Each structure stands twice: as C-alpha cells, then as structure tokens.
Amino acid sequence: MKLDEPVATDPLLTVKDLEVGFESFDGFAEVIDGVNLSIGKGEVVTIAGETGCGKSVTMKSILRLLNQPPARVNGEITFDGTELLSLSDSEFERVKGQRMSLVFQDPMSSLNPTFTIGEQLTDTAQFGGDSDTGVIEFFRRKFSSERDEARERVLEMLREVQMPDPENIMDSYPSQLSGGMRQRALIAQALLNEPDLLIADEIGTALDVTIHDQILDLLKDLIEEHDLSVLMITHNLGVARQVSDRVYVMYGGRIVETAPTEELFENPKHPYTQGLIASIPRLTGDEMAEGIDGSIPEYLDPPRGCRFAPRCPYATAECEQGRPEMYQGTNQSGVECILYDETVELSDRPTVEETRSHMTRRSGSLMGDD
C-alpha cells in the first residue's frame, strides 16, 4: 500500500513515517500514526486540524521536546541532510540553536516576567546559538563591547517588527506590554539569529481579530524578507489560507489531505477537510454549519481503518477495514480516502456543499427542527 505524501521540491525538513505514542496506566495511546511531511526551502507550510489531532505532538517530535518515556518516537526527521533523531543532545541543540526558531502561542509564558525585553532579547542575540557557553565565558562576554553590538541588533529587529517606541520597550517588562506587542517581541526574538526554519505554533491566536491580522501580515512580510522556511501549526484554516503555500490537514494523528493552499480551498477532497472549510463562518448566506459532529478518536483504542470513519457521512464498511491509501494528485497534492480511488465515479465524490448540508441537517436535527 502506498502511504507516502507528496514531497516538497528541494526540502529543508523531511519527516518520514513518524509514529508517536504515549505510555500510561490505561495503556498505550497511539497518537501519531505514520506521518510524512516536508517543507521546501523558502516554503511556508501549515499543519491544520482540530484540537487534539496531533499537531503539537508532531511539532514537539521535530524539536525533540517530548520526554521518552512516556513518549515513544519512531521515524526519520531530516533537516538539511542531517538525521535529527539520531544526534546527541548537544549536537541537536547546536543545530536547533543556530538554524531553527520557535514562536509559541502564548507570549506571556514564553517571555521571562522578571527580565526586561531588552535583557532577554539581547541574551538571545548574543548567545542564541551557543548552547554550551560556560558561566565564566558567559559573564565575560556579557560585559564586553559585544553586548552593545547585540543590543543594537535587537533595536534594529524591534524596528523591523514595527514595535512602537522600541527604545522604551527595551527597558520594559513583559507584563507592561500589550498582547500584540509581546507577540511582536517574540517574533523579533525568533528572527535575531537569522534561522533557516521558523516553527510557529498558533501564532497570535490569543489576540483579538484586528491585531491577529496585523501580526499575520507582518509575519508574511518577514518570511519573504528573510527568505524563511516556515512550519505553522493552527486549528484555524483561515490562518492557513492567509499565510501558507501548502497545507497538511491532520486528523486523528494522520495526514488526511495535503495540497497547495489555493487548490485545497478551491477543491477540498477529504470529507474532513470539506467539513473544516464548511465550518468557517460565512459572512453572507443565512445557513452556517455548526462544525463537524462527533469528536476526535480515542487514541488508546483508535479505529482500525480510516480514523475519521466514525464521523464521516460517507463512510462505508470498507472504510472500517483498513487504512486508506494516500491517493496522489498532480501538483503536490494527496488525499487519504477511498472515495479517490480511480474506480470511483467523479459524480460519487462529495462536494463541500454536500458535506455542509449533512452538517447543517445534523445540527438542525439536534435542535429538534428536522
């Protein structure tokens, strides 16, 4: 059976056959089940899916942030030709420190409340990629002229992320900044050491819509100016549409569909992707789907076949038998659903409107008016 997702041209990061499970008193939870993905040089890729689909576990596996045990991680993660999972901790920290950066969703928990923005960002600018600087060397450098140069770089970067009044912000503590300013500070921090790969987890999600849009616009400009490769994680397909070149839709620890962003929105194939798109609030029209009925699979005892089958309006007995193939389309797209086997008539494949009407009918019947 062919399960491979299409691969990026000139990949910077490749994840192959990733499997991640967690040991617990109740048993073994098989969360990530054979994920393949890749990010090309200069490409912006999003992993999108509902809460609990495994986006963060995938991201944490790439960054080796999961404690083993209870986690068990298998597969291959290759960054610019280097296999990451087999590196020693110090070798990995060096690659991560010098070439990857992270922006987390909650700026308050990522910034240290007891140091000023200037102190924290200058430390990153000066020591960002050096994970093994000794204490004596750390203090020698901290009080050398190198510190002034690093501070200058921070100021420049704060201006680049359009931070208002950057000189003043350098002397402020995180709690004195608004949510949007804190997010800008974190983006500045992430870019200080000119990474090749930026990983952004639900960036700006906690902010109100206007500020969120401003942050995404800023991010788009910075990605282009700094020629970054980006892996974004979001539960919001609208965000994926705004910033990414390509999208991976994740469900129940598997990639169920991938396509270039425009193609995914114009012609979503998997019933789950269609359900997510149908759930995006529409500004016109009087009917809006309420979201996909049901909940994500129980990872301690996941469905044997397609993990979406229990929630899928088109599921048949065959869907419960085994995992569907990843049917590859043209142009780096693929869908893991038996409806895309070539023996299925085009007219028997669902459209977003059909999926929307299933969802609306269900939510209507829940309200007792069907």
Return residues touching ligand ATP (CB under 6 A). 22, 29, 31, 49, 51-57, 70, 235, 299
- Residue 92 makes CB contacts below 8 A (sequence gap 6+) with 64, 84
Taking the C-alpha atoms of 264, 268, 274 and 280 in order, what is their torsion angle to the nearest 10 degrees? 40
Got the DSSP string for 10-34?
Answer: SEEEEEEEEEEEEEETTEEEEEEEE
Q: How far is the CB of 13 from ligand ATP (least distance, A)?
A: 18
Q: How far is the CB of 94 from ligand ATP (least distance, A)?
A: 26
Cβ-proximal residue to ligand ATP, closest one: 56
Nearer to ligand ATP, 177 or 232 (CB): 232
The answer to whether the CB of 78 falls within 8 A of the CB of 62 is: no
Nearer to ligand ATP, 151 or 235 (CB): 235
Q: How far is the CB of 307 from ligand ATP (least distance, A)?
A: 12
Question: Within 10 Å of residue 68's Cβ, how many Cβ atoms?
Answer: 11
- Output phi, psi for 275, to 5 deg: -65, -40
Q: How far is the CB of 72 from ligand ATP (least distance, A)?
A: 11
Q: How far is the CB of 111 from ligand ATP (least distance, A)?
A: 20
Nearer to ligand ATP, 50 or 123 (CB): 50
Peptide bond into 70 cis (omega under 30): yes
Nearer to ligand ATP, 253 or 334 (CB): 253
Peptide bond into 69 cis (omega under 30): yes
Nearer to ligand ATP, 52 or 329 (CB): 52
What is the crossing angle of helices 179-191 and 146-160, to 10°? 130
The answer to whether the CB of 31 falls within 8 A of the CB of 299 is: yes
Q: How far is the CB of 249 from ligand ATP (least distance, A)?
A: 12
Nearer to ligand ATP, 31 or 309 (CB): 31
Q: How far is the CB of 298 from ligand ATP (least distance, A)?
A: 9
The answer to whether the CB of 297 falls within 8 A of the CB of 312 is: no
Nearer to ligand ATP, 49 or 107 (CB): 49
CA–CA distance, 219 with 232 (Å, rounded to integer): 11
Nearer to ligand ATP, 181 or 230 (CB): 230
Rg (CA), the chain: 22
CA–CA distance, 84 with 209 (Å, rounded to integer): 37
Q: How far is the CB of 291 from ligand ATP (least distance, A)?
A: 15
Look at the alpha carbons of 122, 126, 128, 133 in this order and tell me if their dihedral is positive or negative: negative
